């Protein structure tokens, strides 16, 4: 092997290292124009070509490594900036939910914590195109999804994860919604409820505006700290969703669940929450609305007595009132309601989940 041949080999090697160096820089996503240092051509080497080649090759690699280390922080910062708002590609999160999604109900969803790796700083969700407001509860990401009456069978659960570097990740899951047959009933009530006067309708309008404004404001955090419980023993006298014909005239759907009770029987908070409304309402009679956080509310109506005040925090199981027959009723009972994401749902579904759900994964 002569010197000339060796020289060509050396130049090829340098060129090759330069390419490897620049590829390395691109792979780090530094975006900088720097690559491996390319030695200047100069006089023929004075030392043995073989040794010179290997020394130079080592130098080139060392320099590339040094620059890589130096740039690491900068590269990471640039990658973060480049990732802001961009989708990440990571393994799906474990998700568990209960009960099975059913028309007219709510179901709880928990996103399982990962033993390692980057944790999301926020999760937002959507089911049947309605928002799910996830919040942290006992260190777990938990949210309630609404499945209003009329929701079709095939629906998608969309989970959007946000990370501290601004990147995002989206995960979808197809879930089937069980349909439900709702009964209908004829009812007789005082004429002032089946054909309200203009004055009464105006009052009802004002109350609806008040209730709507209250339901539109969601507490940023979960206020619940236990699973939900029934406000009274679960003796249902009229189910949620029942179609109703009042005095053969007014049609409506039963927006709550009627539980048996006599005048003065205790009515307890289904979970910890804040009292948003505690007053007499035209159709609902004496009513209490509780805010449980993250867009979840329960209501207790037709009370003979209200035992809480607006703004007060109540604990799960605390007395909020007494059973009565105020408002549009045929007799004393408790009308128990649930709203999630602005939709009236069957409050009974709250009792079919533990909060914030167990560890079964999918
Ligand atoms: Zn009712």
Q: Which of 37-51, 134-148, 306-320 has the lowest mean pLDDT?
A: 37-51
Q: How much is the pLDDT for 271?
A: 98
For residue 79, the CA-to-ligand 1 centroid distance in Å is: 57
User: Both 68 and 107 in a single domain?
Assistant: no
Q: How much is the pLDDT for 296?
A: 96
User: Both 130 and 258 in a single domain?
Assistant: no
User: Both 194 and 322 in a single domain?
Assistant: yes
| Per-residue model confidence as pLDDT tens digits over 218-267 | 688 999 999 999 999 999 999 999 887 766 665 678 989 999 999 999 99
> Does 124 fall in a domain?
yes
For residue 258, the CA-to-ligand 1 centroid distance in Å is: 5
Q: How much is the pLDDT for 191?
A: 75
For residue 94, the CA-to-ligand 1 centroid distance in Å is: 38
For residue 202, the CA-to-ligand 1 centroid distance in Å is: 22
User: Both 200 and 342 in a single domain?
Assistant: yes
Q: How much is the pLDDT for 71?
A: 67
User: Both 200 and 265 in a single domain?
Assistant: yes
> Does 343 fall in a domain?
yes
User: Both 11 and 153 in a single domain?
Assistant: no
Q: How much is the pLDDT for 145?
A: 97
Cβ count within 10 A of residue 108: 25
For residue 323, the CA-to-ligand 1 centroid distance in Å is: 12
For residue 130, the CA-to-ligand 1 centroid distance in Å is: 25
- Count up the domains in the chain and report the number: 3
For residue 236, the CA-to-ligand 1 centroid distance in Å is: 10
Q: How much is the pLDDT for 47?
A: 39
Q: Which pTM was predicted? A: 0.73
Task: Please say if the pLDDT value at position 5 is more than 50.
Answer: no
Task: Please say if the pLDDT value at position 342 is more than 80.
Answer: yes
Q: How much is the pLDDT for 9?
A: 43
Task: Please say if the pLDDT value at position 7 is more than 60.
Answer: no
For residue 110, the CA-to-ligand 1 centroid distance in Å is: 31
User: Both 72 and 103 in a single domain?
Assistant: no
Q: How much is the pLDDT for 154?
A: 96
- Kindly state the average pLDDT of the residues 45-56: 44
For residue 245, the CA-to-ligand 1 centroid distance in Å is: 13
Contact 174, 126 (CB under 8 A): no
Q: What percent of the chain has pLDDT over 90?
A: 54
For residue 338, the CA-to-ligand 1 centroid distance in Å is: 12
**Burial per residue of 293-307, b for 16 or more beta-carbon CB atoms within 10 angstroms, e otherwise:** bbbbbbbbbbbbebb
For residue 31, the CA-to-ligand 1 centroid distance in Å is: 65
Q: Which of 56-65, 118-127, 352-361 has the lowest mean pLDDT?
A: 56-65
Q: What is the signed CA dihedral for 349, 244, 193, 240, rounded to 10 degrees?
A: -10
User: Both 52 and 33 in a single domain?
Assistant: yes
Helices 49-83 and 3-27 cross at an angle (nearest 10°) of 10
Task: Please say if the pLDDT value at position 157 is more than 80.
Answer: yes
For residue 352, the CA-to-ligand 1 centroid distance in Å is: 20
For residue 259, the CA-to-ligand 1 centroid distance in Å is: 8
For residue 29, the CA-to-ligand 1 centroid distance in Å is: 62
Task: Please say if the pLDDT value at position 155 is more than 70.
Answer: yes
CATH assignment at residue 122: 2.60.40
Q: Which of 6-10, 71-75, 99-103, 348-352 has the lowest mean pLDDT?
A: 6-10
- Give the chain's mean pLDDT: 80
> Does 89 fall in a domain?
no
| Per-residue model confidence as pLDDT tens digits over 82-98 | 767 776 667 788 899 99
Q: Find the domain containing 21 and state its range.
A: 3-83
Higher per-residue pLDDT: 64 or 45: 64
Ligand 1 ion: nearby residues, β-carbon < 5 Å: 256, 258, 335
User: Both 60 and 106 in a single domain?
Assistant: no
- Kindly state the average pLDDT of the residues 67-76: 69
For residue 141, the CA-to-ligand 1 centroid distance in Å is: 33
For residue 114, the CA-to-ligand 1 centroid distance in Å is: 43
- Kindly state the average pLDDT of the residues 7-24: 38
């Amino acid at each position: 092997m002569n010197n000339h041949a060796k020289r060509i080999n050396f130049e090829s090697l340098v060129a090759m290292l330069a390419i490897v160096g620049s590829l390395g820089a691109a792979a780090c996503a530094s975006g900088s124009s720097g690559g491996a240092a390319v030695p200047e051509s100069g006089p023929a080497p004075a030392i043995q070509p073989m040794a010179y080649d290997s020394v130079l090759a080592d130098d080139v690699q060392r320099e590339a490594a040094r620059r890589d280390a130096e740039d690491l922080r900068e590269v990471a910062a640039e990658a973060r900036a480049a990732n802001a708002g961009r989708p990440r590609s990571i393994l799906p999160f474990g998700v568990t939910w209960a009960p099975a999604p059913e028309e007219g109900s709510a179901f709880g969803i928990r996103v399982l914590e990962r033993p390692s790796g980057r944790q999301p700083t926020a999760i937002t969700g959507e089911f049947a195109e309605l928002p799910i407001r996830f919040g942290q509860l006992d260190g777990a990401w938990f949210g309630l999804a609404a499945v209003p009456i009329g929701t079709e069978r095939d629906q998608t659960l969309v989970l959007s994860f946000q990370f501290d570097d601004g990147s995002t990740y989206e995960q979808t899951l197809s879930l089937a919604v069980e349909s439900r047959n709702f009964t209908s009933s004829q009812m007789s009530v005082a004429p002032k409820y089946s054909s309200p006067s203009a004055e009464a309708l105006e009052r009802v309008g004002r109350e609806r505006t008040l209730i709507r404004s209250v339901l539109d404001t969601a507490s940023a955090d979960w206020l619940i700290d236990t699973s939900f419980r029934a406000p009274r023993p679960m003796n249902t006298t009229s189910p949620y969703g029942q179609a109703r014909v009042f005095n053969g005239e007014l049609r409506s759907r039963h927006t709550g669940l009627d539980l048996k009770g006599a005048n003065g029987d205790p009515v307890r908070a289904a979970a910890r929450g804040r009292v948003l409304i505690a007053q007499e309402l035209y159709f609902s009679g004496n009513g209490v609305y509780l805010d449980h956080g993250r867009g979840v509310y329960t209501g207790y109506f037709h009370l003979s007595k209200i035992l809480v005040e607006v703004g007060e925090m109540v604990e799960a199981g605390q007395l909020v009132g007494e059973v009565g027959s105020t408002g549009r009723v045929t007799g004393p009972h408790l009308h128990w309601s649930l709203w999630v994401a602005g939709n009236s749902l069957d409050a009974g579904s709250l009792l079919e989940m533990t909060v914030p759900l167990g560890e079964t994964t999918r």
